[in-house]
A and B are shown apart, each in its own frame.
Chain A
């Protein structure tokens, strides 16, 4: 089955800096790669996703890049703000309807 590795497990940045979280996946058939943000005590919520027919997608301060050859994808957050502090999860899917395999999560802390 699919295996997703996520790094780093914790990330601490100063407000205004950029943050990058990286994930690798094992199943070359995976074609859907969402990123979820989970604030403390809340449910995970989708912030951005990318499909294998594109290499990059951007939404304001958030961008995701995908390298299918190397089987890795990354989340980039620019101009970080304290409200970006949360746990971020990457996931991979597309080989079985609806089924997603999640990475281990990254705790992002943005210091004012």
Chain B
């Protein structure tokens, strides 16, 4: 199993550009989520999904969209990039099973908006 795979690993965008961060998992996990990591602020939840066709907002959703058309994929879209979105982004997945269990993280995407 590859686990959770994120692409790209690094990206530089100009203000106003849009892009999609890709996330795929091969563990058949129902739950998937996106976090951003900024110095001194931990991991903050952007959006999450409990299954195909179901998404919901986390703590910091503004400026981001998600969709979940399959169990495996959970892309994160930046609609109009802003310097405040410069961050490291992590995708994570975990099985649902009625109890919280280990979250498996992707390797991260380091995004710089200039």
Contacts and interface: CB of A to CB of B under 8 A. Distances in A.
Classify the interface of chain B: helix, strand, loop or mixed: loop
Contact of B96 (A45, A49, A97): A97
Contacts of B35: 102
Interface residues of B, number: 26
Interface string B22-40: 0000000011010100001
Contacts, number: 62
B102 A102 contact: no
**Interface size bucket, A side?**
20 to 34
B48 interface: yes
Given A32-B100, A97-B100, A98-B31, 5 more contacts: A43-B105, A97-B96, A98-B94, A98-B103, A100-B100
Interface of A: 1, 4, 6, 9, 31-32, 34, 42-46, 49, 89, 91, 93-94, 97-105
B44 interface: yes
